[in-house]
Amino acid sequence: MLPVSYYLIVSAIVFSIGVYGVMTLRSGIMIMMCVELMLNAANINLIAFASHFNQVNGHVFVLFSIALAAAEAAIGFAILMNIFRSNKNVNIDNINILRW
């Protein structure tokens, strides 16, 4: 069995990729996917720890978080759909009528 630190390193990398993506990407879809990456990085952590400590609650946590992530994604896509309808694209860096 791999030591828990391996999982942590992987998750950290995944998380960082997600963060980088959120900060730099233009497309709303891509950003949402990056957020998913981040969430899953956390999930990796949780699973890793849960199995490491032989606890069940970590797994429960992950199940919840996956469900919530799905719900979140659903809402997100709904909003993006709206944006697509009016803007014909999902680039969100030019949505800035609200500022200052």
Binding site for other proteins (CB under 8 A): 4, 8, 11, 15, 18-19, 22-26, 28, 31-32, 35, 38-39, 41-43, 45-46, 48-50, 52-55, 57-58, 60-61, 64-65, 68, 71-72, 75-76, 78-80, 82-83, 86, 92-93, 95-100
CB of 80 to other proteins, least distance (A): 7
CB of 2 to other proteins, least distance (A): 15
Judged by beta carbon, residue 6 or residue 55, the one nearer other proteins is: 55
CB of 59 to other proteins, least distance (A): 11
CB-based burial label for 19 (10 Å; 0-12, 13-18, 19+):
middle
Beta bridge partners of 27: 91
Contacts of 84 (CB under 8 A, 6+ apart): 90
Tokens of 28: 């709303």
Residue owning tokens 């032989």: 54
Element (H, E) at 65: helix 57-87
